[in-house]
Structure 1
Amino acid sequence: MASARKNLSTYDDSTLPDAGPMTFGVIVADWNEDITHALYEGCYETLVKHGAKETNIHTVQVPGTFELPAAARILAGREKLDAIICLGCVIKGETKHDEYINNAVSQGLVNLSIATGKPCIFGVLTPNTHQQALDRAGGKHGNKGVEAAVTGIRMADLYRNSKVGKKSIGFGN
Structure 2
Amino acid sequence: MGVGMQNSLSVLIAVGDFYPEISKLMIAGAVARLQSYGAASVWHEVIAVPGSFEVPAAISFAIMSDRERYDGYIALGCIVKGATNHHNVISSSVSASLGDIAVQHAVPLGFGIITSDSMELAMERADPNGKDVGGNAAAAVLRMIELYKRFLG
Q: Shorter-chain TM-score: which interval?
A: 0.7 to 0.9
Residue 10 of structure 2 aligns with an amino acid whose one-letter code is T
Q: What residue ranges of structure 2 are gaps of 5+ in the alignment?
A: none
Deviations, residues 56-94 of structure 1 (Å, cap 9, x unaligned): 312211010000100000111232222110000000111
**8 Å contact 1:109–1:121 — kept in the other structure?**
no
**8 Å contact 1:123–1:145 — kept in the other structure?**
yes
Deviations, residues 114-167 of structure 1 (Å, cap 9, x unaligned): 22110222201001000001111117633111111100100111111114xx6x
SS at match of 2:14: strand
CA RMSD, Structure 1 to Structure 2 (Å): 2.0
Q: What residue ranges of structure 1 are gaps of 5+ in the alignment?
A: 1-15, 167-173
TM-score, normalising length: structure 2: 0.88
Of residues 105, 119, 125, the one that matches 1:130 is 119
Following the alignment from structure 1 to structure 2, what is the Cα–Cα distance between the partners of residues 159 and 139? 27
CA gap of 1:27–1:72, structure 2 versus 1, over 3 A, is same
SS at match of 1:31: coil
Q: What does 1:1-173 align with in structure 2 at a 5 Å threshold?
A: 18=4, 20-51=7-38, 53=41, 56-78=43-65, 79-138=68-127, 141-163=130-152
Match of 1:8 in 2: none
Following the alignment from structure 2 to structure 1, what is the Cα–Cα distance between the partners of residues 151 and 113? 26
Residue 36 of structure 2 aligns with an amino acid whose one-letter code is K
**8 Å contact 1:82–1:160 — kept in the other structure?**
no
Q: Which has the larger radius of gyration?
A: 1
Following the alignment from structure 2 to structure 1, what is the Cα–Cα distance between the partners of residues 30 and 130? 15
Following the alignment from structure 1 to structure 2, what is the Cα–Cα distance between the partners of residues 119 and 99? 25
Residue 62 of structure 2 aligns with an amino acid whose one-letter code is L
Higher share in strand: 2
Following the alignment from structure 1 to structure 2, what is the Cα–Cα distance between the partners of residues 143 and 98? 21
**8 Å contact 2:26–2:128 — kept in the other structure?**
no
Residue 115 of structure 1 aligns with an amino acid whose one-letter code is Q
Q: Number of residue pairs matched?
A: 148
Deviations, residues 21-40 of structure 1 (Å, cap 9, x unaligned): 32211101110110111101
**8 Å contact 1:65–1:88 — kept in the other structure?**
yes
